[in-house]
């Protein structure tokens, strides 16, 4: 019922997260407007309104906000592992400008609520599931220094807007999200889409960056967007909340699961000399369970199997 009375703007509406957010909002009976720049939308539904423009332009951004009650800010530059520091800086500049413009426009347009994505990369290195209140002003792991500090600054900008306006802001710190419509382009893809693409293509040798012992908290995108909808409805208080699976799995286990699902009988070769970022990343999700009633519903085994099958159907000529 919460979303039925409101028009939601989804920035990055042609992207991975934005597409799933739009579908979840439609399923909840909501009205949806997608903000698009150059890409075509993935979702095709007569209930979806399209507005085109460059959200780094203040006028385009303000125009996209008109008549909107809720904003889900899913737009942003992404890059894969192993990119240069200069490329990373270019993405940071773009994302800072984009998010600042979106927050400013939401304030000016007097939208009711906005959801901003922070990230689990804001946290320092730990060997345990980290809680939201453990962050303080500690520094992110060195491999996430620029990106993690950028996401942390999003939180500071959100706090400022919330303190000076009537806009209610939900802040979520996602773990690694995967699923259909992810970016499978080799130069930009993250670990799971990169592995799925090569498994479906039957790559041999099958090289994997890192030792395989790295631990990650992976969350299926459908679970993630469900958590986002709960957050903007129940916790738009500018108080960060972890949205994750709540337990970690090794990259070696992920590789084995993907290869099995793809029917690719090959022995993976792990190369520990290649960049893999942080050794362990897992977050405590007890706050999301307590406040939002959020529990993941899709296991990593089921989610990876479904993703392999989904991707395989799109590569058949």
Contacts of 147 (CB under 8 A, 6+ apart): 88, 91, 92, 119, 121, 140
Q: Could you tell me the pTM of the whole model?
A: 0.94
Please name which of 178, 282, 181, 254 lies closest in space to residue 220, comparing C-alpha atoms: 178
pLDDT, tens digit, 9 for 90 and up, residues 243-268? 999 999 999 999 999 999 999 999 99
* Gap between the Cα atoms of 176 and 120, Å rounded: 8
Average pLDDT over residues 62-87: 83
At 302, the pLDDT band (50, 70, 90 cuts) reads: very high
Better pLDDT: 218 or 144: 218
Please name which of 197, 173, 169 lies closest in space to residue 183, comparing C-alpha atoms: 197
Q: Are strands 168-174 and 241-243 parallel, antiparallel or unpaired?
A: parallel
- For residue 177, which phi and psi values (nearest 5 degrees)? -105, 140
pLDDT, tens digit, 9 for 90 and up, residues 22-65? 999 999 999 999 999 989 999 989 889 999 999 999 999 999 99
pLDDT, tens digit, 9 for 90 and up, residues 264-288? 999 999 998 886 778 888 999 999 9
For residue 38, the model assigns a pLDDT of: 85
Average pLDDT over residues 180-199: 93
Q: Provide the angle, in degrees to the nearest 10, between the axes of the packed helices 191-200 and 251-262.
A: 30
For residue 82, the model assigns a pLDDT of: 52
CATH topology of domain 7-315: Rossmann fold (3.40.50)
């Amino acid at each position: 019922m919460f979303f039925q009375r409101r028009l939601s703007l989804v920035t990055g509406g042609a992207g991975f997260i934005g597409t799933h957010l739009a579908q979840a909002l439609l399923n909840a009976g909501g009205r949806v407007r997608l903000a698009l720049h150059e890409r075509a939308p993935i979702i095709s539904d007569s209930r979806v309104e399209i507005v085109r423009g460059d959200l780094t332009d203040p006028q385009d951004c303000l125009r996209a906000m008109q008549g909107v009650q809720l904003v889900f800010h899913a737009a942003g530059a992404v890059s894969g592992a192993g990119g240069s520091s200069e490329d990373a800086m270019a993405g940071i500049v773009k994302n800072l400008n984009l998010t600042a413009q979106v927050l400013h426009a939401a304030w000016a347009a007097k939208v009711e609520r906005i959801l901003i994505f922070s990230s689990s990369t804001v946290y320092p290195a730990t060997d345990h599931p980290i809680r939201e209140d453990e962050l303080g002003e500690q520094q992110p792991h060195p491999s996430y220094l620029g990106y993690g500090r950028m996401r942390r600054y999003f939180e500071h900008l959100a706090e400022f807007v919330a303190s000076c306006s009537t806009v209610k802001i939900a802040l979520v710190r996602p773990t690694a999200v995967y699923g259909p419509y992810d970016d499978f382009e080799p130069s930009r893809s993250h670990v799971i889409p990169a592995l799925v693409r090569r498994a479906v293509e039957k790559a041999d040798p099958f090289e994997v960056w890192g030792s395989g012992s790295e631990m990650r908290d992976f969350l299926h995108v459908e679970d993630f967007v469900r958590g986002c909808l709960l957050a903007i409805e129940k916790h738009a208080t500018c108080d960060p909340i972890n949205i994750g699976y709540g337990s970690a799995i090794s990259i070696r286990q992920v590789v084995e699961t993907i290869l099995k699902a793809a029917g690719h009988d090959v022995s993976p070769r792990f190369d520990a000399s290649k960049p893999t970022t942080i050794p362990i990343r897992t977050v405590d999700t007890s706050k999301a369970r307590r406040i939002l009633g959020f529990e993941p519903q899709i296991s990593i085994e089921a989610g990876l199997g479904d993703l392999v099958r989904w991707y395989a159907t799109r590569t058949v000529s």
